[in-house]
């Protein structure tokens, strides 16, 4: 699971903008955002770079707090 949707909302960024920056289709990015599919690790790092955040901020921990 990822937090791409939450980070985009926090930053006020549209999925279409992210898709353009990644060179991916809107449908592909929407799949990532809706957690229907998970991006490859390289893509996750690219998204983090584009959004200027640490890649860890895009991940949901499965650890119990």
CA atoms lying within 13 Å on the CB side of residue 13: 20
Determine the angle formed by the axes of helices 15-22 and 41-51, rounding to 10 degrees: 120
Instruction: Output the pTM of the full model.
Output: 0.89
Calculate the CA dihedral of residues 20, 1, 41, 13 and round it to 10 degrees.
20
Q: What is the pLDDT along the chain (65 residues), one digit of tens a residue?
A: 899 999 999 999 999 999 999 999 999 999 999 999 999 999 999 999 999 999 999 997 666 55
Cβ-contact 19, 26 below 8 angstroms: yes
CATH 1.10.260.40 fits domain 4-54 = yes
Domain-wise residue ranges, the chain? 4-54
pLDDT of amino acid 1? 87
């Amino acid at each position: 699971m990822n937090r791409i949707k939450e980070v985009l909302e926090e930053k006020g960024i549209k999925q279409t903008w992210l898709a353009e920056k990644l060179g991916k289709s809107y449908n592909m990015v929407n799949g990532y955002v809706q957690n229907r599919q998970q991006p490859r690790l390289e893509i996750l790092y690219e998204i983090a770079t584009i959004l200027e955040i640490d890649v860890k901020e895009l991940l949901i921990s499965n650890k119990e707090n």
